[in-house]
Amino acid sequence: MRGGRVLAGRYRLDSLLGRGGMGEVWRATDLRLNRTVAIKVLPSRGASEQAVARFRREAEIAASLQHPGIAVLFDTDTDDGTLFLVMELLDGTDLAAVAARHPQGLPVARAVPILAQLADALAEAHAKGVV
């Protein structure tokens, strides 16, 4: 993937946020609604049928979740062999970066509210059958 590419005539990929086993996540612009979004892409060319099925299942699951601690799924589509999910872009620092700044562990006063928020979001996911 490259920055500047427009998916489905609507979503412009602006900058790469991360890369993992299920593709890449990009900061992008929804050109129709003029808003910043996050887009997770999985190039389906070369992807196994299992990976494609897992990606589509992820979209279905994400669409069923509604919780302040879980990013909202706005859209899913395919563009020239690339499957993608369009999600709410949440500003902030990811938990890995926060933890890295505290190699001896987060102070309890900081960890407890974070863990409470995580537990609440996980409870919502579990209530919808996500394990």
Helix ranges, 1-131 (H): 49-64, 95-100, 108-127
Whether residue 131 is predicted with pLDDT greater than 90 in this model: the reply is no
Handedness of CA 118, 123, 125, 126 (dihedral sign): positive
Classify domain 1-91 at the CATH superfamily level. Phosphorylase Kinase; domain 1 (3.30.200.20)
pLDDT tens sequence across 47-90:
788 888 888 888 898 899 999 989 999 999 999 888 999 999 99
pTM tops 0.75, yes or no: yes
| Most trustworthy range by pLDDT among 42-46, 83-87, 95-99 | 83-87
Question: What value does the CA radius of gyration of the chain take, rounded to a whole number of Å?
Answer: 16
Are 96 and 68 in contact, with CB atoms under 8 Å apart? no
How far is the C-alpha of 55 from the C-alpha of 17, rounded, in Å?
18
Better-predicted residue by pLDDT, 21 or 13:
13
Q: Where are the domains of the chain?
A: 1-91, 93-131
Three-state SS for 103? coil
